[in-house]
Amino acid sequence: MVPRRHRRKGDGRRFRVRSPFRVDHRLRRSRTAPARRADRPPFRAPAPVVRPQTVGFLGCPDLYLGVRVVLPEFPEHELLPAVPVPVPRPAGDPDRGHREASSGESRQRTGRSMNQRPLDIPPPDVMPVDRDAWAGQLNLSNFINTYYQFRDLQACGNVRSVLIVGPGQGLDTQVLRWRGYEVTTFDIDATFHPDVMGSIHDMHMFPDGRFDAVIASHVLEHLAVPYLDRSLQEVARVGNHALLYLPVAGRHVQARFLPGFKGIDLTWIVDIHNYFHRPDGVTPRYCGGQHFWEVGMRGFRVKDLVRRMSQWFELIAAYRNRDWNPSRNFVLRSRRSP
């Protein structure tokens, strides 16, 4: 602002609007203004003021009101580093560690800097529950899940041999064998009496393409994220097709409309959970300390999982189980399959 004692009669202000977010005002002398007297100091325009970007404004030389809009930026999901492969130290080479530290070889092998603490990645293990009591339970969800497995196997075409990873109570095994499938069970826990014991991330005992289909129903979420890609690769290697059923995070509100004619079945499902929460992938914090991640969390949305699976599979179908809404089902074809 120009002090009042420096103003002269006839001086005026002109406003020129250059953009909807900035007002440029300039002072100029009127044509009818008298000549400047020598005893008055020359007029100097005030220094420009940097205004914040706003949405909506009210501007004048003495008043400025605005609303600042700040949009948060969320970085894209960063995958955790792969499981480091230990490299044996050869005998008679005491200076190997010093050479690795100087050349950076160990940093390339683990994907971390030398002064960074390594992640404590828990290996695949049995469920931290009373497994004997759990194996004796039988719920409605077991029957629903078994029906959907049988239905999805028919959509895969000519399927005869099936590998079930994590047979659980064994209902799906009995039903599929009753329907004529050659079923082999595979589990890391001897409590469920599997045909072959082992972990899904390492199925070296099976040759490539050994099974027409591999079923892993609510199994992968029990693995830390660094083991996830390796498990998907192994499933795609030993099977031509795969049925991967995964749990959905949070609580679920469902509304279903069944008028009873023309097969109309309309379903609305709303999942209630913290959509901004991102699991670290190495801590089993969910489902009573059993799950490392669940569908719907940041980094594990449906599109994220489909992108991850697409490295080894072609997507046949991905749908929400309307009869058991905590389950999201994926029907896949291995890219190795002819």
| DSSP secondary structure string for all residues of 85-148 | PP-PPPTT-TTHHHHHHHHTHHHHHHSS-TTSPPP--PPP---SS-HHHHHT---HHHHHHHHH
Model pLDDT, residue 261 = 86
Q: What CATH homologous superfamily does 132-334 map to?
A: Vaccinia Virus protein VP39 (3.40.50.150)
Model pLDDT, residue 113 = 41
Both tokens assigned to 104: 């950076």
Q: What is the mean pLDDT of each run of 10 residues along the chain (338 residues)?
A: 55 51 49 54 55 43 40 40 42 44 43 48 90 89 96 94 95 96 95 94 95 96 95 96 96 92 90 92 92 95 95 95 95 88
Residues of each domain in the chain carrying CATH 3.40.50.150: 132-334
| DSSP secondary structure string for all residues of 175-238 | HHHHTT-EEEEEES-GGG--SEE--TT--TTS-TT-EEEEEEES-GGGS-GGGHHHHHHHHHHH
27-56 burial: b if 16+ Cβ within 10 Å, else e: beeeeeeeeeeeeeeeeeeeeeeeeeebee
* Cβ contact 42:36 at 8 Å: yes
Query: 216 in the Ramachandran plot: left (φ > 0), alpha (ψ -120 to 50) or beta?
Result: beta
- Residue showing tokens 């994590």: 166
Residue 226: exposed, middle, or buried by beta-carbon count in 10 A (0-12, 13-18, 19+)?
A: buried
Residues 6+ apart with CB under 8 A from 283: 292
Q: What is the DSSP letter of 302?
A: H
Beta strand 313-320 with 266-272 is: unpaired
